[in-house]
A = this chain, B = another copy of it.
Amino acid sequence: MNGYLKPVELGKASRLIHHGPTVLVSAHHQGVDDVMAVGWACALDFAPPKVTVVLDKVARTRELVEGSAIFVVQVPTVAQLQLVDAVGTSTLFNDPDKLLKSDVHLFHQDGFGHLPFVTGCSAWLACKLIPEPHNQENYDLFIGEIVGAWADTRVFREGHWHFQDADPAWRSLHYIAGGHYYATGDSFFAATVES
């Protein structure tokens, strides 16, 4: 945790993932931490704010989410490209040193117990699982209610992303396939249209 990390009001929390970044999902259960890369994550509602994440059955993180019913969705940066790819291509089931080898460092937030947050990201959403067994079993689709949100003020402040003013290393990653990612790019504003 660092002095740049500030809470984001829950009414604006979904903006942290509106741009469709690849995220890291982390969870803790019975003494085990895990972190995975998730390309399929999306906002679902504003009030209360909710998210969807697709968690494959091959991921240990999924077991931890099912066991603890709480998880973190966090937005990694271009500076974390190798970390993201590493946690997206290895599994704790096969490699107990996955997080160490992937250079993942974790921190905790007051009031959230052992819930693991990944150091160096630009934004974090603490999400309480809304159990939907049909979706989880049939589609690997998990729904979470956002119960806490924080961002690094060097790139998100006063309810807005500031990628255009920040070091490019702060930009988000958007995964395509096979180790190929795009970063978040230029900023555009639509002109107000009078109808």
Task: Give chain A's interface residues, CB within 8 Å of chain B.
Answer: 12, 15, 18-22, 39-45, 50, 52, 54, 78, 81-82, 84-86, 89-90, 95, 101, 134-135, 139-141, 143, 159-161, 163, 168, 171, 173-177, 179-193, 195
Contact = CB atoms under 8 A, between A and B. Distances in A.
Contacts of A175: 18-19
Instruction: Tell me if A's interface is mostly helix, strand, loop or mixed.
Output: mixed
Contacts of A22: 20
Residue of A44, A90, A177, A188 with most chain B CB atoms under a 10 A cut-off: A188
A157 to B, nearest CB: 13
30 contacts: A15-B176, A18-B175, A19-B176, A20-B20, A20-B42, A40-B43, A40-B44, A44-B54, A44-B139, A45-B139, A45-B140, A50-B139, A52-B141, A82-B191, A82-B193, A95-B195, A160-B176, A160-B180, A168-B186, A173-B188, A174-B174, A179-B192, A180-B188, A181-B187, A181-B188, A181-B189, A182-B187, A183-B187, A184-B184, A185-B186
B184 A180 contact: no
Contacts of A45: 54, 139-140
A71 to B, nearest CB: 17
